[in-house]
Amino acid sequence: MANYTLKINNKSYRVEVEEDTPLLWVLRDHLGLVGTKYGCGIAQCGACTIHLNGTAVRSCVLPVSAIGKQKITTIEGLSANGEHPVQQAWSEIDVPQCGYCQAGQIMTASAFLNKNPKPTAAQITEAMNGNICRCGTYHRIHEAVALAASKLK
Amino acid sequence: MVGGGFLLSFRWFESSASPVQTIAEEVNFNSYLSIAPNDVITIFAPNPEVGQNIKTAFPMIVAEELDADWTKVKIVQAHLDTKKFERQATAGSGAMQHSWDRLRKAGATARMMLVEAAAKRWNVSAAALTTDNGFVWHTESGRKLSYGSLATDAATMKVPEGVKLKVKKDYKLIGKPIHNTDNAEMITGKPLYGMDTYREGMLIAMIERPPFGTKIKFAETAAAKAMPGIVEVITFKNKVAVLGKSTWQVTKARKLLKVEYEPDGAVESTTEHNTLMKQLLDKADVKPSRKDGDVEAVFKTAAQVITREYQAPFLSHACMEPMNFFAHVRPDGVELIGPAQLPEDTRKNVAKLLGIDIEKITLQMTRMGGGFGRRQRSDYSMEAAELSSMVKAPVKVIWTREDDMQGGQYRPAMRYRFQAALDEEGNWIGYRMRGVGINSGNSTRPDHFPAGAVANFLVDSIDHKSPVTTAPWRAPSENFLGFAEQSFFDEIAAAAHRDPIEYRLAYLEKAQKTPVGAVKYDIERMKGVIKLVAEKSNWGKNKELYQGFSAYFSHGSYIAQVAEIEMKNGSLVLRKMYAAVDCGVVVNLSGAYQQVKGGIIDGLGHALYGEVTLQDGIPLQKNFDTYRLIRMKEVPDVEVYFVDSDINPTGLGEPALPPAAAALANAFFKATGKRLYHQPFSKEEAMKELTLNQSS
Ligand code: FES
Ligand code: FES
C-alpha cells in the first residue's frame, strides 16, 4: 500500500492503494469515477481510455505508481455538463447504442482532435480503429468525429 | 473504507444508480405514465435496455397516443414489477410485437381522460375538443388547458373502454428520429450500468470456474485468503470465489489460487465436435420437422443434385460490459441490481436458490452494455445472491473478460447439409436440409423458404448434448442458418444459370400461386424488400462491381441485402452493403437505422473473425487479442431503406444479422469464383483474396 495524490479533472484526490493498481480501478473502486469503463483489461478495446497530460491512454494497464504529477482527465472532467464539442457531436449524431464503449470513444476522439483538428476521413478511421464498439456504431462514431472537427474550426 | 482509499467529497450511496422515485404530486394514470401539475409527464420504460433502444421507443408510443409534448417527457426505467407490467423481457426481438397495442392504449386512454376532464371543466362536449402537444383545445372558443392543470381531475374520470387509436398519417413522434433518452448520461459518464453499482460495505467477488466436463479435485486457497483486502475465499458448487474489498486486490489474490480439476462426464474438444457433427449429418431415421411430397423419389431421378455443407464455431456474446451482478441478501429480503434480459427468470431462479418467496426480492434493472442473449441466463446473478447469502454482506460479482469468454453460454457450434434436386431444365424439384449442433436445440427453421415453393421438401435436425453450455445468441440459430441457407440458394441459382434475384422472385411467385403445404411467411412483403434492394443497389447494372444478394425473414421482419465488392488499387474490397427492411411501422427512425447497421456489422464481424475453440474442455480464446471483433477499418458503408408500411411493428434487434454474411459470401463468389462454407471466413484460404482493411 502506498499513498498517492492524483490530479484528476483539475481536482486533487488522495488514495491509498497498492502500487500496481491500474488507474482504471482506482477511478472506479476508490474515487467513484465510474464513467471510465472496464472492457478487457489488456489494452485491446479502449473502453477505459482517459487523457494523461492530454494524450489518450488506456487506464486498465496504467499502474497508479507510474502517474506521478501528470494530469488525468476522465469522461467526467472533459467538460462541466457535456458541452465539449465531441460530446455535443455524439449527442447530435445520436451515437450510443448500448453506450458502454462510448466514454472511451469520446476520450480517444477528443485527444485525437486536439492534436489534429482538421482530420481527413482516413485519419479519423485510423485514430478510432483501436476502440471496439461491440454494437457496431462505427459509422456514427466516424460521423460524430467529423462533426466535432467542424465545430472546432 | 473500500480498499483503504481516502475519499474526497464523494459518497457511494449518492453516486450509485438512483432508485425509481415518484414525486408526491404526480398523478398516476396507469402503470406506464403519470402527469405532474408542472406538465412533466413521467413515462415508465418497463423493458430491459441492452442497446436496442427500447427505453426510448416504448415511451415514444405512449407519448404519441397521449399527444404529449416530448420535451416534457421524463423517462424512468421501471423495476421488475409483474403486477404492473407483462413481459419485461429482452428476447427474440419480441417486445415491440407484444407491447405495441398495450402502449398505444395506455397513452390513448389517458388522453381521453384528460379530454373528459376538460369537457367537464368547460362544460362542453368532449367531441368538440382536440389535443395537441400537451394541451387540450376547445378550438371554437380558442381556449386551451395544459395536461398538468387537468391531471388531478382527469385521474378521477372513469377509465374509458375501446379508445380510438391514431392512424399512421397522424403520427407526430412515431417514425421520427428521436434521440436516445440516456445520451446525456452516457456521454458524460454517469453511473448507468450494473458494473457501476457500489455500496458501502460491498464486497467484490471473482470466481474461478471449471473447464467444461470437469469438477474440482482439490482447491488450495490459503495463499489467496492471506492477501491484503481479501475477506473470504469460498469453494461452492464446483467453483472458487474470492471476495475482497477492491477489484484489483481480488484480481491479484485470485492468481494465487491453486485449483485442480478431474473429469466429470465428457471432456470435449473442438476436433471431436467437428467429427461428431459430420457423423450426425449421416444419421438415419431422424424425425422430420417438415415433410412435403416425396423427397426420396425425386432425388433418385433428378438430373442434378447439389449438396453443400456449412459449419460454424462456438461464439462468445462478448458483451462490451462483462457479466456482473449485485446482490444483498438480508434476513428481511433480497435486493438485486444488475443487467438481466429476463429479470423475471432471474428473480425466480434466485428465489428457488435461496428458498425464499419471490415477493421478498426486488430487482432493479440497469442499462446493459450489450446483451445479445447472454444475459437471458441467470448464472451470474445467482452467483451474486448465493455469495451474498453466505457472507451476509452486499456482493457484486464481476466476470473478467477472460471469465466471460471462457465461461460458456456460447452460440452453439453448428453444421448444416443442404441438398437440392434440379431437373433437366434447371427447375428446382427437391429440397433436403439437416442441421446438427452442440447443445443447439432445433437448429433449423422448417417453414422457411423454399417451403411452399419446392414440392418435395424435408427438414430435420439433431442436437448433441454436451457439457459446453450454450445460450441464445443474437438471432438464435438463424445467425448462421441465414448465412448457410442464403449461400446455398445462390449456388442453386448459379447451377440453374439464373440471376439469383430473378430466380428467387420466380420461386416466391410459385409459392404464391401454387403453394405446397403451409406458407408461413408473407410472400408479398418478401418480394417487396427484394425488389427494393435491387432498385437501391442498381442490381447487376454496374459491371465493374461484384454484387451478392441475400434475403431473409426472421422475428417477424423481412430483410434483403446486397453486398458490393469492388476492385480498388488491385485489391478486392467490400465496399458497401445495402439493406431493404420491412419491419412494419418504424417506431424510432434513428434507433432503427442503427439496429440494422449494427446488425449487419455484427453479422459480418462474427462471420469474418468469431470463433471459440476448445481443447479438453478449456476454451482457447480468452480476450479480444485472440477473439477478434470487427473494427472501424473493416466496416463497409451501409445504406438502409425501410418499406413504408402501416403494419404493426415487428422485431429489429436481430433480423438484420442473419443475411449479412451470405450477401458478402455471394459477392465474394462473383468476384473470385470461390465459395465460403465455413466460419470464421478469415481462416479460409480463399479469403486472402479479399482486403478487409477499407482504408488500404
Ligand atoms: S479495458 Fe482497457 S483497453 Fe479494454
Ligand atoms: S455502443 Fe455498445 S459497445 Fe459501443
B394: CA distance to ligand 2 center in Å? 29
Helices A102-115 and A85-93 pack at an angle, to 10 degrees, of 130
Q: Identify any residues that bridge with B422 across adjacent strands, giving them in sequence order.
A: B304, B428
Residue that the C-alpha cell 432445433 belongs to: B442
Residue B112, classified by CB atoms within 10 Å of its CB into exposed (0-12), middle (13-18) or buried (19+), is buried
Contact B40, B147 (CB under 8 A): no
Count the residues in chain B. Answer: 696
Structure confidence at residue B25 (pLDDT): 78
Q: Is the minimum CB–CB distance between B569 and chain A shorter than 8 Å? A: no
CA B155 to ligand 2 center in whole angstroms? 40
CB within 8 Å of chain A, chain B residues 27-56: 50-51, 53
Q: How far apart are CA B466 and CA B442, in angstroms?
A: 15
Per-residue pLDDT, B19: 42
Contact B677, B311 (CB under 8 A): yes
Q: What pLDDT sits at residue A153?
A: 67
Test mutation, B632, B633, B696, chain A, max A CBs within 10 A: B632
C-beta of A43 in contact with ligand 2 (< 6 A):
no
| Cβ under 8 Å to A: B residues 149-178 | 177
Mutate to test the interface with B, among A97, A107, A124, A147 (most CBs of B within 10 A): A97
* Å from CA of B51 to ligand 2 middle: 8
Could you tell me which of B52, B629, B47 has the C-alpha nearest to residue B372?
A: B52
Report angle CA B232, B234, B236 to the nearest 5 degrees: 160
Asked if residue B431 lies in contact with residue B456, where contact means CB atoms within 8 angstroms, the answer is yes
Q: What is the pLDDT of residue B162?
A: 87
Each residue's pLDDT tens digit, B588-626:
999 999 999 999 999 999 999 999 999 999 999 999 999
Q: Which amino acid is at B41?
A: I
Q: pLDDT averaged over chain B? A: 93
Q: Check CB contact under 8 Å for B321 and A142.
A: no
Q: What is the pLDDT of residue B696?
A: 60
Contact B210, B239 (CB under 8 A): yes
Gap from CA of A44 to ligand 1 centroid (Å): 6
Q: How far apart are the first and last CA of chain B?
A: 52
pLDDT of residue B24: 52
Would the CB of A73 count as within 6 Å of ligand 2? no
Q: Is the CB of A28 under 6 A from ligand 1?
A: no
Output phi, psi for B145, to 5 deg.
-135, 135
Q: Angle CA(B86)–CA(B440)–CA(B285) in degrees, nearest 5?
A: 120
Cell numbers that stand for B488 in this block = 446455398
Determine the pLDDT at residue B87.
Answer: 85
Q: Is the C-beta atom of B370 inside 6 A of ligand 2?
A: yes
More confident call, B8 vs A52: A52
**Angle separating helix axes B660-672 and B589-609, nearest 10 degrees:** 60
| Span between the terminal Cα atoms of chain A, in Å | 46
Task: Kindly provide the ipTM of the predicted complex, given to two decimals.
Answer: 0.98
Q: What is the CATH number of domain A85-152?
A: 1.10.150.120
Ranges of residues in chain B whose predicted pLDDT is under 70: 1-24, 93, 696
Mean pLDDT of A24-33: 98
Which residues on neighbouring strands pair with residue B327, listed in sequence order? B336, B395
Beta bridge partners of A50: A57
Q: Where are the beta strands (DSSP E) in B163-213?
A: 203-208
Q: Which of B84, B52, B186 shows the shortest CA–CA distance to B587?
A: B52
Within 10 angstroms of residue B51's Cβ, the number of other Cβ atoms is 31
Q: What sign does the dihedral B654-B656-B660-B663 (CA atoms) show? A: positive
Tell me if chain A has a CB within 8 Å of the CB of B187: yes
Is the CB of residue A46 below 6 angstroms from any atom belonging to ligand 1? Answer: yes
Q: Look at residue B64 in the predicted model and tell me its pLDDT.
A: 96
The 10s digit of each residue's pLDDT in B193-250 is 999 999 999 999 999 999 999 999 999 999 999 999 999 999 999 999 999 999 999 9
Q: What is the pLDDT of residue B470?
A: 97
Residue ID of nearest Cα to ligand 2 atom 4: A133
- Could you tell me if the CB of A146 is within 6 A of ligand 1? no
Strands (E), B393-455: 395-398, 414-422, 428-438
Half-sphere exposure of A12 (CA within 13 A, CB side): 6
Element holding A52 (H helix, E strand): strand A49-52
pLDDT of residue B546: 98
DSSP letter assigned to residue B315: B
Q: Where are the domains of chain A?
A: 2-78, 85-152
Atom of ligand 1 nearest to the CA of A60: 2
Q: Of the residues B320, B401, B474, B601, which should be mutated to test ligand 2's pocket, given the most ligand atoms within 8 Å of the CB?
A: B320
Q: Domain A2-78: give its CATH code.
A: 3.10.20.30
Strands (E), B274-378: 290-292, 304-312, 324-330, 333-338, 361-365
Kindly report, residue by residue over A81-93, the tens digit of the pLDDT.
999 999 999 999 9
Hey, what's the cell of B502? 430473378
CA of B102 to the centre of ligand 1 (A): 42
For residues B392 and B332, is the Cβ–Cβ distance under 8 A? no
Q: Does B622 contact chain A (CB < 8 Å)?
A: no
Closest C-alpha among B130, B129, B54, B66 to residue B99: B54
Contact A45 B320 (CB under 8 A): yes
Domains by residue range for chain B, with CATH = 27-182 (3.30.365.10), 194-265+323-398 (3.30.365.10), 414-691 (3.30.365.10)
Mutate to test the interface with B, among A3, A21, A40, A110 (most CBs of B within 10 A): A40
pLDDT value of position A81: 93
Alpha helices in A1-153 (DSSP H): 23-25, 85-93, 102-115, 121-128, 138-152
Q: Distance of CA B81 to CAs B74, B207, B633, Å?
A: 19, 30, 43
What is the three-class DSSP state of B56?
helix
